[in-house]
A and B are shown apart, each in its own frame.
Chain A
């Protein structure tokens, strides 16, 4: 029984409230930490009995920040359930809306959430260490941040009618075409947006270079990595095969999404409602892996667009071509991806088929018994949707592994490492605890925006007696 416990609550409300508890020993040193995720909704059960084709609408309500990821992963699972191959134009449009979402999500995380730490400092006054501090310090940059997010949200709105929880993808394709006006208007903004992404990359890169020792040590640890790749091993965010690499960067496996169960398993700890996925053959926790921007850039061989590829080549040199382990490098990787997404939007808009009206495959057999897996790279990592239906298309079984979940063990580990490195129970400072949060923040857990976006974490320090009773409690 530890003598004292520090509770940081809420840390990042990943689907609700999450908290970190730091258990200290008699000497005030960190003995153990836990990253608790405190939200449970139960979609895997309550979706049973619903028609499979409702899932793109139901499951996007899992997350209001990356609803499009769930919307698309669900649609892909629905394609498989109904045994439909969407026409190519539909796939292009799905990828387009996905790129819009990645731009808004990555952009918002970088500027609204991560930048305060990078630009103002981990130990800055918590009252100003937030996006408004950024606005005061650099209003021009802040407005660019707002416009990058708006741009991404508008791509979603143009195609899906709404910015949050759009209605666009359906089993077999998408429900509407891209208008000429929308194509022109999106294209007109691309150059400015690419410039903003480039500025973000510069900010991340400069910070990491001038704080190299921190960057290399901070929440840096070996792990496996996972992400989708295309047939040439290049970055793929909409569709591809799942590649796994080990801590040394060796190829471990590459498999089709529908075979995920042979490769991925989930562990449960009684202290968190978020499960811990791991690579099945390596067991838990040895097989835990990281996903998201850092995970993806650690598994791919190349990026298919020129500017992002040039940046990727530089990025990869940071650790001499071996996997990059420091959690803070997520921020850099994230903006390289944002750049890729903007370049990819340009490519997609230029594709002659993007304006096609051939947008949906309709089942000619009316009855649809089936099973289907849909996997996509959400902003935060690989997202799995797996459905089975009866012969009438009603769901009999739903399994979801959400992007943030894949990084659960990594966030737990990262916060633990930082707590051990920085937290001294004998002379606590706010900055110490902010670093613990920052470790988790690197992973941009879903909904972190709503919490940390800005500011000071509430702090509760509880002095616990040997019998577990609370002896003292200080909070602010």
Chain B
């Protein structure tokens, strides 16, 4: 389709704007500043606050730039004395409602209402101070909703609607008493809120703010590092906000290709409240007890034991959440260099559907039928569930094949047990752009039946492990490779523990070397315990479930003596006389070649 370009003038400057854009979009594209408050680039504009009022020649009244569409030949003024007066009036009115006490507000210095007050020199109240006290909703474990600081811009409820498509937030009461409310009346903590935090990130004032980072300093004091979340396999882009080497906040990255500003509780909040005890020094077993050691000693003991163990008796298991570089070095060291029977994954990867095009998560948006099979993304890959619900809004149908309860069932057209898959396929075959989303619970029979959908369907696997896609490409097997092991090396990383089946599979007399970030029952059994860095402390690449390789960046130094997984493995390889690479960049380049060279 040809894009029609219109010509308009703003403040006497002639500019081009595509058909369908608003005055605000056209102005911003041309670098012309129009102040806004309720507008947010990621959300559908509603023209609620009237801060962006502009003069449009021929229009009787001032018009909101955020919703007013451009037409050819339009003449717009954005900062005339009359507009400044009107805006000051609007801002005065906003300040006169509720109580905006900047001096003790966590958001002071990063508040858009405050910025407007500064820009228009609001230095006293024109209207008498508002005296009604509004409640503070602190029931959410992660953030606060202070109605006293709310300007009713509706960004939060639009975010709740448009990003996670959760629709918890709405507007209650009337007039000046209007309040943002959850499920009509419920406190946030006991509402349908899923704590994705989208509302908090878009709030322009101090009405919604995070508890964890409250009063930890203004933005100038913070450092921001763009990275990739590894707590599930979607690979959401995020910004890690740190101060003084401590992570204060995690924000979603509006520009990230996969999530486009979405993030979930697992990615945004839970990592900040991980109460587990970190391992900060290497430990070795002396006289039956784990005792502190330095890296030199720990690596020496580990390499000596590995060196004197037969290849056939070497067991190697890794978390599928580790970076591409760590997984690459792991399989190369144990399988290729040392000749172990195989390298296993703690949580198994899943096989791909044959005969179907591998899809991208972005395919969901334009699909007319989504077939979800053997997966419960609401629990395991929340952002995928947001994308599904977004597609449903656009008219797609959701059908679910699951033998257990599925959290998306309330939104599904049909939910059937796996035995009834064929009935669904009859309908699915008629869809024009079907997408199959499949998880670890998909049975082999089901996979076979799905082949009927043929080439027009695309398939997206939802890997259970954060970096499972790379692990699969690198040849990791599911679980502990068969055979008897006398030495077992486990890269546990940040996982809580290994599953029961694996625990039973560990030979009781095996020498156990564990590379882990936190104390755990498994770590306590280790003979050598190597402390590893966590998500915020590591550099490397991650492969999301679509096969997209993205760069994760370190936002702070590893705690204590802990080191990054790849580095520990490289050091160990060195001890064993196997040179893995010159530097991180060298190893990373090898890894990316290896991962991308394989079909994933």
Interface of A with B (CB < 8 Å)?
49-51, 53-54, 56-58, 61, 161, 165, 167, 170, 175-177, 357, 359-360, 362-367, 392-394
Contact for B103 among A57, A161, A365, CB less than 8 A: A57
Which of B56-64, B133-141, B422-430 sits within the interface?
Answer: B133-141
24 contacts between A and B (CB under 8 A): A49-B135, A50-B136, A51-B138, A51-B211, A54-B104, A54-B215, A56-B215, A161-B217, A161-B218, A165-B103, A175-B216, A175-B221, A176-B221, A176-B244, A177-B245, A357-B246, A359-B246, A363-B273, A364-B273, A367-B141, A392-B189, A393-B138, A393-B211, A394-B138
Interface of B is mostly: loop
Contact for B274 among A170, A364, A392, A393, CB less than 8 A: A364
Q: Are B215 and A167 in contact (CB under 8 A)?
A: yes
Any A CB within 8 A of the CB of B506:
no
Q: Enumerate B180-210 residues with CB–CB distance to A below 8 Å.
A: 189
Residue with the highest number of chain B CB atoms closer than 10 Å, among A53, A165, A366: A366
Count residues on chain B whose CB falls below 8 Å from chain A CBs.
Answer: 28
- In Å, the complex CA distance between A170 and B189 comes to 24
Given A53-B215, A365-B275, decide whether A394 and B104 contact each other with a Cβ distance below 8 A: no
- In Å, the complex CA distance between A61 and B101 comes to 12
Q: A53-B211, A54-B215, A161-B217 are in contact. List 14 more A-B contacts (CB 8 A).
A: A53-B214, A57-B104, A61-B103, A161-B218, A175-B221, A175-B243, A176-B221, A177-B245, A357-B245, A362-B272, A364-B274, A365-B275, A366-B273, A392-B139
Q: Are A357 and B244 in contact (CB under 8 A)?
A: yes
Given A57-B104, A362-B272, A363-B273, decide whether A175 and B215 contact each other with a Cβ distance below 8 A: yes
B218: chain A residues within 8 A (beta carbon): 161
Contact code string B79-122 (vs A, CB < 8 Å = 1, else 0) = 00000000000000000000000011010000000000000000
B136: chain A residues within 8 A (beta carbon): 49-51, 394
A161: chain B residues within 8 A (beta carbon): 217-218, 221
A280 to chain B, nearest CB (A): 33
Q: Are B138 and A392 in contact (CB under 8 A)?
A: yes
A389 to chain B, nearest CB (A): 9
Output the nearest chain A residue to B220 by Cβ-Cβ distance: A161
B189: chain A residues within 8 A (beta carbon): 392
A58: chain B residues within 8 A (beta carbon): 104
Output the nearest chain B residue to A173 by Cβ-Cβ distance: B246
- In Å, the complex CA distance between A50 and B144 comes to 11
Q: Are B215 and A61 in contact (CB under 8 A)?
A: no
- In Å, the complex CA distance between A49 and B136 comes to 7
A61: chain B residues within 8 A (beta carbon): 103-104
- In Å, the complex CA distance between A392 and B143 comes to 10
Q: Enumerate B151-202 residues with CB–CB distance to A below 8 Å.
A: 189
Q: Are B133 and A49 in contact (CB under 8 A)?
A: yes
A175: chain B residues within 8 A (beta carbon): 215-217, 221, 243-244
- In Å, the complex CA distance between A360 and B215 comes to 12
Any A CB within 8 A of the CB of B476:
no
Output the nearest chain B residue to A169 by Cβ-Cβ distance: B215
Output the nearest chain A residue to B137 by Cβ-Cβ distance: A392
A411 to chain B, nearest CB (A): 30
Any A CB within 8 A of the CB of B142:
yes
Any A CB within 8 A of the CB of B360:
no
- In Å, the complex CA distance between A393 and B189 comes to 13
Contact for B144 among A51, A57, A165, A365, CB less than 8 A: A51
Query: Closest 3 A-B residue pairs measured CB to CB?
Result: A364-B275, A366-B141, A57-B104
A170: chain B residues within 8 A (beta carbon): 214-216
Q: Are A362 and B273 in contact (CB under 8 A)?
A: yes
- In Å, the complex CA distance between A394 and B144 comes to 10
A363: chain B residues within 8 A (beta carbon): 273
Output the nearest chain B residue to A394 by Cβ-Cβ distance: B138
Any A CB within 8 A of the CB of B433:
no
A176: chain B residues within 8 A (beta carbon): 217, 221, 243-244
B215: chain A residues within 8 A (beta carbon): 53-54, 56-57, 167, 170, 175
Any A CB within 8 A of the CB of B551:
no
- In Å, the complex CA distance between A278 and B212 comes to 39
- In Å, the complex CA distance between A54 and B142 comes to 16
- In Å, the complex CA distance between A394 and B275 comes to 23
A393 to chain B, nearest CB (A): 5
Q: Are A360 and B214 in contact (CB under 8 A)?
A: no
Output the nearest chain B residue to A363 by Cβ-Cβ distance: B273
Given A49-B136, A51-B144, A175-B217, decide whether A362 and B212 contact each other with a Cβ distance below 8 A: yes
- In Å, the complex CA distance between A362 and B248 comes to 10
- In Å, the complex CA distance between A392 and B189 comes to 9
- In Å, the complex CA distance between A364 and B276 comes to 8
Q: Are A177 and B138 in contact (CB under 8 A)?
A: no
- In Å, the complex CA distance between A49 and B144 comes to 12
- In Å, the complex CA distance between A357 and B556 comes to 11
A50: chain B residues within 8 A (beta carbon): 136
A273 to chain B, nearest CB (A): 22
- In Å, the complex CA distance between A362 and B141 comes to 13
- In Å, the complex CA distance between A247 and B416 comes to 85
A455 to chain B, nearest CB (A): 31
Q: Are A167 and B217 in contact (CB under 8 A)?
A: yes
Output the nearest chain A residue to B209 by Cβ-Cβ distance: A51
A54: chain B residues within 8 A (beta carbon): 104, 106, 214-215
Residue with the highest number of chain A CB atoms closer than 10 Å, among B103, B144, B211, B275: B211
B243: chain A residues within 8 A (beta carbon): 175-176
Q: Are B217 and A360 in contact (CB under 8 A)?
A: no
A49: chain B residues within 8 A (beta carbon): 133, 135-136
A92 to chain B, nearest CB (A): 14
A51: chain B residues within 8 A (beta carbon): 136, 138, 144, 211, 214
B139: chain A residues within 8 A (beta carbon): 392
- In Å, the complex CA distance between A363 and B212 comes to 9
A56: chain B residues within 8 A (beta carbon): 215
- In Å, the complex CA distance between A56 and B106 comes to 11
- In Å, the complex CA distance between A138 and B571 comes to 69
Output the nearest chain A residue to B144 by Cβ-Cβ distance: A51
B164 to chain A, nearest CB (A): 20
Residue with the highest number of chain B CB atoms closer than 10 Å, among A61, A365, A392: A392
- In Å, the complex CA distance between A170 and B104 comes to 13
Contact for A177 among B104, B211, B212, B244, CB less than 8 A: B244
A359: chain B residues within 8 A (beta carbon): 244, 246
- In Å, the complex CA distance between A365 and B141 comes to 9
Output the nearest chain A residue to B560 by Cβ-Cβ distance: A358
B555 to chain A, nearest CB (A): 13
B446 to chain A, nearest CB (A): 39
A174 to chain B, nearest CB (A): 9
B274: chain A residues within 8 A (beta carbon): 364
- In Å, the complex CA distance between A360 and B272 comes to 13
- In Å, the complex CA distance between A58 and B103 comes to 8
- In Å, the complex CA distance between A359 and B272 comes to 15
Output the nearest chain B residue to A364 by Cβ-Cβ distance: B275
B244: chain A residues within 8 A (beta carbon): 175-177, 357, 359
Q: Enumerate B212-259 residues with CB–CB distance to A below 8 Å.
A: 212, 214-218, 221, 243-246
- In Å, the complex CA distance between A126 and B207 comes to 52
B214: chain A residues within 8 A (beta carbon): 51, 53-54, 170
- In Å, the complex CA distance between A61 and B275 comes to 34
- In Å, the complex CA distance between A54 and B214 comes to 9
B212 to chain A, nearest CB (A): 7
B240 to chain A, nearest CB (A): 15
B245: chain A residues within 8 A (beta carbon): 177, 357
B231 to chain A, nearest CB (A): 17
- In Å, the complex CA distance between A157 and B452 comes to 71
- In Å, the complex CA distance between A27 and B133 comes to 55
- In Å, the complex CA distance between A176 and B133 comes to 33
- In Å, the complex CA distance between A194 and B187 comes to 56
- In Å, the complex CA distance between A392 and B142 comes to 10
- In Å, the complex CA distance between A56 and B218 comes to 16
B456 to chain A, nearest CB (A): 47
- In Å, the complex CA distance between A53 and B135 comes to 16
- In Å, the complex CA distance between A56 and B103 comes to 11
B273: chain A residues within 8 A (beta carbon): 362-364, 366
